[in-house]
């Protein structure tokens, strides 16, 4: 069984490796680095928010799903059209999702502290998702999400002049989530920098 220090080192090293490979979202890198620098926390799977074009045989079928386009930034209409052109005869969705961060805390007190900061930043759907004797997992999650069915069994469900409006809404959802992420980063830094300064 790994100790707290060993697990923290393992996940921190994985984060640094992912950063060096360029597979960590730029918008979330700063807050992940700061949280992992704190003694009582480390992060696992996290995302700053994303827009995807995804094809599924049935709604909610993750096993048979194929992602034709994925972006952690604003997307253009042309990019969505290009992703759509890769689709087949199943249902195709335009999905925009807010940030999600999984933070492992050393104890319940530490978990509650980071959770309260998340709620203050606007992540009202955050919560503790696992409690063990040596760690507590907090999920920081927003309620920003948009799911639009663009094709049903290969048939387009939107007018051509409507697609820019749909893409703009997806970008707006992404922006709202990233704005909360920035607020969360500022609150966490302010709280812990003040705490360590006063010690």
For residue 165, the enclosing domain spans 45-193
Q: Is residue 57 predicted with pLDDT exceeding 60? A: yes
97 belongs to a structural domain: yes
39 belongs to a structural domain: no
118 belongs to a structural domain: yes
CATH number of the domain to which 90 belongs? 3.30.1960.10
Give the chain's domain count: 1
13 belongs to a structural domain: no
103 belongs to a structural domain: yes
137 belongs to a structural domain: yes
Question: What are the strands of the beta sheet with 66-71, ordered from one edge?
Answer: 66-71, 50-56, 91-97, 145-152, 155-156
- 1 — pLDDT class (breaks 50, 70, 90): low
Query: What tokens appear for 170 in the block?
Result: 């997806």
Q: What is the pLDDT of residues 80-119, one digit of tens each?
A: 999 999 999 999 999 999 999 999 999 999 999 999 999 9
Lowest-pLDDT range, 24-28, 50-54, 119-123, 194-198? 194-198
98 belongs to a structural domain: yes
pTM for this structure? 0.89
Q: What distances in angstroms separate CA 33 from CA 18, 30, 122, one per listed residue?
A: 12, 5, 21
Residue predicted with more confidence, 133 or 115: 115
């Amino acid at each position: 069984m790994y100790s707290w220090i060993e697990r923290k080192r393992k996940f921190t090293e994985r984060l640094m490796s992912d950063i060096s490979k360029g597979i960590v979202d730029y918008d979330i890198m700063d807050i992940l680095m700061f949280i992992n620098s704190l003694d009582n926390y480390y992060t696992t799977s996290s995302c700053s928010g994303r827009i995807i074009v995804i094809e599924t045989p049935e709604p909610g079928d993750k096993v048979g799903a194929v992602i034709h386009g994925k972006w952690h930034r604003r997307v253009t209409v042309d990019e969505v059209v290009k992703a759509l052109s890769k689709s087949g005869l199943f249902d195709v969705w335009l999905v925009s999702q807010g940030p999600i961060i999984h933070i492992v805390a050393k104890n319940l007190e530490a978990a509650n502290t980071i959770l309260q900061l998340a709620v203050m930043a606007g992540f009202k759907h955050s919560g503790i998702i696992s409690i063990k004797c040596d760690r507590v997992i907090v999920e920081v999650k927003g309620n920003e999400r948009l799911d639009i069915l663009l094709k049903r069994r290969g048939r387009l469900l939107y007018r051509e002049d409507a697609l820019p409006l749909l893409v703009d809404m997806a970008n707006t959802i992404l922006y709202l989530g990233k704005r909360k992420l920035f607020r969360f980063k500022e609150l966490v830094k302010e709280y812990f920098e003040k705490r360590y300064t006063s010690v």
